[in-house]
Homo-oligomer: A and B are copies of this chain.
């Protein structure tokens, strides 16, 4: 062991000097292709022993500078505050490592400026591929990547310039809406139009879910009231405020609600609690998102769980196939067994 307080890190040249050989041999041994380079196993063992003793760690910057491929794969993600993005990130890291890639992930807080900044930084780090998850402006990112000759993919929200993997929001929302309407009929004795709350009207997913929401109403012959579609944003406070405002309207608030994310559900639940509806079985809820505690809320809330493993499988398939055309792949979400009220 080197007990000297070292200011410089050990390099292959240091190891070469210690082993009485050349840096070239050390490099070959340590990156595993010493058989190809016809290094004797004697020397290989000696070098590996010395490297171990010295606590040698590769300088990746130097290595990457020389090599053609970086094996770095980047992902930008809006938030870490819910199970959906959390599981995307966790599984993405896992799948990337399983393929010999080094994942770097950064959170951009749904801030378009930060997204661009993050993408630029990742390009500087020579990512081979960049996954834009739930990006506010995916096409901007695709353009930046294209300019640098780097592949990009969209996840969760689609873009027009790169392949996108998203949930089948329309079908998921239609089924969720159908279930809420059925529950509503069963519990309240009648089927009344629902409230849609949460998300941004400008984002593709919300638009598709609203389309599914309308379709399910139409399927069952129920008319949708426009004043009951509140794409007020995702934040809990926004949902809470939107409900307050809607409650002031001329018509009564619907008893059934389609909530566009667990984040918005948080605000809805706070509002319900505040307005004294908690534990009141007269409210029939459904959420396009999944969180284990929601099951436990006990209000018989229906959930749609996006198929994260399915989506990431598609993402890596696209990466491996080298596809670049701007197709949109829709992955059906999972709808767990209906909750009892």
Contact = CB atoms under 8 A, between A and B. Distances in A.
Nearest to A106: B93
A198 to B, nearest CB: 15
A106 to B, nearest CB: 6
A217 to B, nearest CB: 28
Contact of A293 (B64, B94, B126, B293): B293
A125 B70 CA distance: 12
Interface stretch (A15-23, A51-59, A133-141, A245-253): A51-59
Given A9-B149, A81-B83, A59 B55 contact: no
Given A9-B149, A90-B79, A106-B93, A270 B296 contact: yes
The number of chain A residues touching the other chain, given as a range, is 35 or more
How many monomers of this chain does the complex have?
Answer: 2
A51 to B, nearest CB: 12
Given A6-B149, A106-B103, A147-B55, A60 B126 contact: yes
Contacts of A273: 296, 298
A151 to B, nearest CB: 13
- Give the top 10 A-B pairs by smallest Cβ distance, nearest first: A55-B147, A293-B293, A80-B86, A60-B124, A269-B296, A57-B123, A61-B65, A61-B64, A61-B61, A58-B124
